Amino acid sequence: MTRPDIRSQTEREIQRQFEVWREPSYRVRQLLHWLYAGRAASWDEMTNLPKSLRQRLGETYTLAWPELARRQGARDTTQKFLWRLADGALIESVLIPASPALYGEPSDRHTLCVSTQVGCAYGCKFCASGLDGWKRHLRVEEIVNQVLAVERLEGGGGRTINNLVIMGMGEPLANYENLLPALRILNAPWGGKLGARKITVSTSGLAPQIRRLADEPQQFRLAVSLHGATDQTRGRIMPINKKYPLGELTAACEYYQEKKGRMITLEYILIAGVNDGLDQAPPLARLAHRLRARVNLIPCNKVEGLPWERPSEAAQEAFLAALERQKVAATLRREKGGEIDAACGQLRLKTERMFQRL
C-alpha cells in the first residue's frame, strides 16, 4: 500500500494516528505548525519533534515537495513558477501582485493562481493547457504545496498570498475528489488559514459539480469561463458546451448564486471575430443580471500554434461600453503578465517543447 502524504491529512486524522501512537496532543500542534506555518520541505527541519517520532512519521507518510524547475518574472511583477513533481510532471503556479508595482514599490498583497491537473481534457480551442491532452489529476498535497512552496520561496515567514484562484492548468471541478480536500486544508484554521471568500474556483462549466460545490458549507467563490453568451458562439470554442449547454450551465450557476449570495464572476476572454461582436453583449448582459454576476473581460493571449488574435483596444473598449450601458458590473483586464505567458498552460508547454528540442 502506498503511504498517504502528510499534507493530505486533516487535523482529525493526524490526531487519531497520534492517539494510536500515544503521542501527546501538543505534538499534533507542533507538526501542523511545521507543515503550514513553517512550510517544511523535510522531516529533518522539524527540530522540536523527537527523532523517533520523525522517523515514525517518515515510515507512515510521505512529505512531498515540488522541485522548482524554472522561475520567470521579477519580484513585484507577475511571476511564474514551474514545478517538477515526483513523477517528473511539470505544472505551474502564477503569483500576481495586487497592485502592479508601477513605481517599483514592493507589494505585499498577492494572488496566487494554482493548477489542479497535468494537462486538461476539455480542449477549449484557445487554451494552451489542453493542447497536449490530459495526463493526470493532481493529488491533494500537490495542490496544497503550490501555495506553501511559493510562500517559502518568497521568504519572510509571513503570509504572501492573500487570494487564491484555482485557474492554472486543468479543470478543477473534474478533479473534485482532490480539489475539495485541498481547499479545506488551505482554508482550515489549523492549516493554510486562507478565508474561503479569498478562494475562487474557476470552471469551464461542469454543471453537476457546480451544484455539488454549492452544497459545500464553505463560501468559496466561483468563476465561470463563459467566453460566449449564446450556444452557437460558445460551442464554437468550448467543446464542453455540447455536454452542458448554456441552459444547463446557467441553471447550475443560478443554484450556486441562490445558495451563496453574490459570488459569481463570469470570465469572458475576447477573441477577435469570434466572440467580440456587439451582438454578444445583450445576451451576456441578461445572463449577468440573472446571476447577479460580475463580468471580467480578458483580451485573449496569443498561444503559439493557435490562430486566435485579441481584438483591437478600440474593440475591447467598445464591448466593455456596451455592457456598461446595460448596467453590468464589468471590468476589462488590462494586461498583467502577458509578456511572460501568464495564460494558463503556456509556460509548461513552452518548457516541455524546449526540453523536447534538447
Binding site for ligand SAH (CB under 6 A): 126-127, 167, 171, 202-204, 225, 267, 269, 298, 300-301, 303, 343-344
Nearer of residues 171 and 276 to ligand SAH, judged by Cβ: 171
Enumerate residues 6+ apart whose C-beta is below 8 A from 345.
92, 120, 127, 128, 129, 130, 131, 168, 169
Q: How far is CA 181 from CA 9, 134, 138, 141, 187, in A?
A: 9, 21, 12, 9, 10
Nearer of residues 8 and 202 to ligand SAH, judged by Cβ: 202
113 catalytic residue (yes or no)? no
Interaction mask 119-158, ligand SF4, x per CB under 6 A: -x-xxx--x-xx----------------------------
Decide: is 347 part of the binding site for ligand SF4 (CB under 6 A).
no
Question: From the candidates 23, 92, 141, 154, which is the catalytic residue?
Answer: 92
Element (H, E) at 179: helix 176-187
Minimum distance, C-beta of residue 159 to ligand SF4, in the bound complex (Å): 27
Q: How many CB atoms lie within 10 A of CB 306?
A: 15
The option from ligand SAH, ligand SF4, none interacting with 297 (CB < 5 to 8 A, set by class) reads none
Enumerate residues 6+ apart whose C-beta is below 8 A from 6.
14, 31, 35, 57, 61, 62, 63, 141
Interaction mask 199-238, ligand SF4, x per CB under 6 A: -----x--------------------x-------------
Q: Where are the beta strands (DSSP E) in 147-205?
A: 161-166, 199-203
253 catalytic residue (yes or no)? no
Assigned C-alpha cell, 252: 447550475
**Residue selected from 143, 199, 207, 344 as contacting ligand SF4 according to rule CB under 6 A:** 344
Which residues of this chain interact with ligand SF4, rule CB under 6 A?
A: 120, 122-124, 127, 129-130, 170-171, 204, 225, 344
Return the active site residues. Answer: 92, 344
